[in-house]
Amino acid sequence: MLVPVLFGVSLVSFSLLHVVPGDPAEVLGGAEATKEDVDRIRREYGLDRPLLVQYLQFAANAARGDFGISIQSRHPVRGLLFQSLGFTLQLSLASILVASVVGLLAGIISATRPYSLFDALGMLGALFGISMPIFWLGLLLIVVFAVQLHWLPSGGTGTLFHLILPAVALGSASSAVIARMTRASMLEVVRQDYIRTARATGYREDVVIFRHALKNAMIPILTVFGLEFGSMLGGAVLTETVFSLPGVGRLLVEGIFARDYPVVQGAMMLVATTFVLVNLLTDAAYAFFDPRIRYE
């Protein structure tokens, strides 16, 4: 399904860009550009050709990994994307690590102590995390930990400390989703007969929970992992803007404002490809946790 999905993304993103008001040639030419200057820029970047011809040329080049030259910076788009992808991957990996640890622990404890005070507080915190806007949480973390306490940097890159605040801000919503899914999936598993049998045979409670219950509850949790990680790669725009991170999301926003078609199309294809590959790896991971899938 990877090929038709990427074809659909390329077609939709190309079409939407040309529906949005604004001419990249006029943006690049500036306010003082004459009509002759604008026409020359259109010819230089092939914007004067029919849309079908432009799309076919873009699709053919994209299949070879060539997304053209940025209209704004005049640098190869492929270089800009891979330079920005490194920062987005670092942020996404750190965020999914935070979300996984917090979400799994909160979900497991809530499922093993259902309807207790911790369960109520954990699910209330999950609701708070899902409902909280990322940009507001990011600003709040900057005010508390960077401005007042001076514990962590407020933005930028360079060290692992620069990733802590944006990772917490971006991972908060995902940790809430993972916690709720873990609780629901674990509650379904811990009521099964084989869990009662494992307890009756004398296994320690941690062995019962982590080796028997959690492993059999991981299929829906893995699905959430894949979706959340893919969303982080494409949805880190606000986080990268608040913390001044030069990632793909920020590059995409700047490209949209500048009507930089090659950058926007290349970023969309990169995010879509990464999202599809993450989901493919998630599907492959099902077989590790469920032998029935591996046997099929």
pLDDT tens, position by position, 47-65: 778 888 888 888 888 888 8
- Token pair 């080049």 is at which residue? 61
Band (234; pLDDT cuts 50, 70, 90): low
- Is pLDDT at 172 greater than 80 in this prediction? yes
Band (295; pLDDT cuts 50, 70, 90): low
Of 84, 67, 85, the closest CA to residue 76 belongs to: 67
What is the SS3 assignment for 30?
A: coil
Are 25 and 47 in contact by the 8 Å Cβ rule? The answer is yes
**Domain residue extents for the chain:** 83-246+274-295
Are 174 and 228 in contact by the 8 Å Cβ rule? The answer is yes
Q: Which architecture characterizes domain 83-246+274-295 according to CATH?
A: Orthogonal Bundle (1.10)
Of 182, 168, 249, the closest CA to residue 216 belongs to: 182
Band (192; pLDDT cuts 50, 70, 90): confident
- Is pLDDT at 222 greater than 70 in this prediction? yes
Q: What is the mean pLDDT of residues 28-50?
A: 77
Q: What is the pLDDT of residue 106?
A: 87
Question: For 289, how many CA atoms within 13 A lie in the half-sphere containing its CB?
Answer: 19
In angstroms, rounded to a whole number, what is the distance separating the alpha carbons of residues 167 and 160? Answer: 10
Q: What is the mean pLDDT of residues 9-38?
A: 77
Among the ranges 127-131, 180-184, 248-252, 288-292, which has the highest mean pLDDT value?
Answer: 180-184
- Is pLDDT at 90 greater than 80 in this prediction? yes
What is the SS3 assignment for 31?
A: coil
Mean pLDDT over all residues of the chain?
Answer: 82
- Is pLDDT at 182 greater than 70 in this prediction? yes
In angstroms, rounded to a whole number, what is the distance separating the alpha carbons of residues 286 and 293? Answer: 7
- Is pLDDT at 293 greater than 70 in this prediction? no
Q: For the purposes of burial, counting CB atoms within 10 Å of the CB of 21, is it exposed (0-12), middle (13-18) or buried (19 or more)?
A: exposed
- Please give the C-alpha separations between residue 98 and each of 59, 110, 172, 178, 179, in angstroms, as whole numbers: 37, 18, 8, 11, 12
* Residue with the larger pLDDT of the pair 221 and 22: 221
Q: What is the pLDDT of residue 108?
A: 86
Q: What is the mean pLDDT of residues 87-104?
A: 87
Q: What is the pLDDT of residue 292?
A: 67
- Is pLDDT at 191 greater than 70 in this prediction? yes
Tens-place pLDDT, residues 107-165: 888 888 888 888 888 888 888 888 888 888 888 888 988 888 888 888 777 778 888 88
Dihedral over alpha carbons 7, 10, 16, 19 (to 10 degrees):
-100
Band (268; pLDDT cuts 50, 70, 90): confident
